[in-house]
Amino acid sequence: MKSPKFGIVVFPGSNCDHDTYYVLRKIIDVDVVFLWHKQTSLEESDIVILPGGFSYGDYLRTGAIARFSPIMNEVIKFANKGGYVLGICNGFQILLEAGLLPGVMIRNELLNFVCKDIYLKVENKGTIFTKGVNGNSALKIPIAHGEGNYFADENTLKELENNNQIVFRYCGKDGSISTDANPNGSINNIAGIINKRGNVLGMMPHPERSSDPVLGKTDGSLIFKSLVNNIFN
Amino acid sequence: MFKAKVLIKRRMTILDPQGKAVEIGAKHLGLSNIKNTRIDKYIEFNVDTKSKKAAEDEVNDYCKKLLANPIMEDYEFTLEEVK
């Protein structure tokens, strides 16, 4: 089976780029390259990842300045042609600022930076990013952010719900959705959404931090494996 | 050349967790009459154009595309001629 090539965009202030690279190369065992934010070639990547971190120091708004990095024009063109894009944490914030996904991210409700394992309910297992998630158990994947409080207006939310675009919600260990399981105040416990076309996913949790068995948790690897196994099908 | 003074305000329908937290401080200070604290952004810069109209256009562009997020924020600004 042909395996896809991943491109990881490196912005000034990205800090999960190397973790993601390590997981893809050593754990998932696929071809992967770094893409500096000033370049304008995606180097024939099949999947582009916008990694976590604090691009441009989170100045002005998270992701607001990175969105205008030269490579983003290419990422937007790529996404509009149906190319697969995964934004993780700060990458999700950049996708929102770039208008590739709807809504905005605001400061966590309690203002604290939350860094811990959380549970995710996979609400849509039909996407290329989640097809490989079997069973009904919640995924254990860590979060680490200060601005992960997702907000969208009523119409946008309705549209997201109707089109099955809410892919991940924060939940309890047993998969139940509750306010207690919501770590940041996100509306309707939203942790990850996909665009209508199904090729651009943004998620606040860090799958790359729960992919290497040496860390004692591997649920994050299901997302990368799902991409690898389904992209050419 | 013009000096622009831009005020960017988050819409009232969107929660401002910072404002809420700061207001807790006000309560602890004993300032019990303080209500609806909102923390917004104030930005200053120069616009090097000859006409005020050209300056306005450029500030609008800057605000719409970068300084404010039109999904959750509104902006207003003033321009003052400087030498």
Report the distance separating Cα A1 and Cα A83, nearest Å: 19
Please tell me the predicted confidence (pLDDT) of residue A134. 84
Measured between CB atoms, does A222 come within 8 Å of chain B?
A: no
Please choose, from the candidates A107, A97, A133, A108, the residue with its C-alpha nearest in 3D space to the C-alpha of residue A207: A133
Chain A contacts of B15, Cβ < 8 Å? Answer: 106, 109, 149, 151, 185
Q: Report yes or no: A174 and A138 within 8 Å, Cβ to Cβ.
A: yes
Tens of pLDDT, residue by residue over A136-146, are 789 999 999 99
Domains of chain A: 5-230 (3.40.50.880)
Mean pLDDT, to the nearest integer, of B31-44? 96
Mean pLDDT, to the nearest integer, of A3-12? 97
Please tell me the predicted confidence (pLDDT) of residue A31. 97
Tens of pLDDT, residue by residue over A86-117, are 999 999 999 999 999 999 999 999 889 999 99
Given the residues A89, A97, A123, A145, the one annotated as active site: A89
pLDDT at B15 over 90: no
Q: Report yes or no: A174 and A137 within 8 Å, Cβ to Cβ.
A: no
Bridge partners of A121, per DSSP, are A169
Strand A5-10 and strand A31-36: the pairing is parallel
User: Is the full-model pTM beyond 0.95?
Assistant: no
Please tell me the predicted confidence (pLDDT) of residue A53. 97
CATH of the domain at B69: 3.30.1280.10
A188: left (phi over 0), alpha (psi -120 to 50) or beta: left
Mean confidence (pLDDT) of chain A? 96
Kindly indicate the confidence band of residue B83, based on its pLDDT and cuts at 50, 70 and 90: confident
Structural domain containing residue B50: 2-81
Q: How many CB atoms lie within 10 A of CB A5?
A: 16
Task: Name the B residues in 7-36 with CB < 8 Å from any A CB.
Answer: 13-15, 17-18, 21
**Residue A201 structure tokens:** 């996913």
Mean pLDDT, to the nearest integer, of A152-159? 96
Q: Report yes or no: A38 and A8 within 8 Å, Cβ to Cβ.
A: no
Kindly indicate the confidence band of residue A233, based on its pLDDT and cuts at 50, 70 and 90: confident
User: Which of A56, A59, A61, A62 to mutate against chain B (most B CBs within 10 Å)?
Assistant: A61
Looking at the 3D structure of chain B, how many domains does it have? 1
Task: Name the A residues in 41-60 with CB < 8 Å from any B CB.
Answer: 60
C-alpha distance from residue A211 to each of A19, A25, A69, A140, A224 (Å): 10, 12, 29, 11, 9
Mean pLDDT, to the nearest integer, of A13-29? 97
Measured between CB atoms, does B42 come within 8 Å of chain A?
A: no
pLDDT at B17 over 80: yes
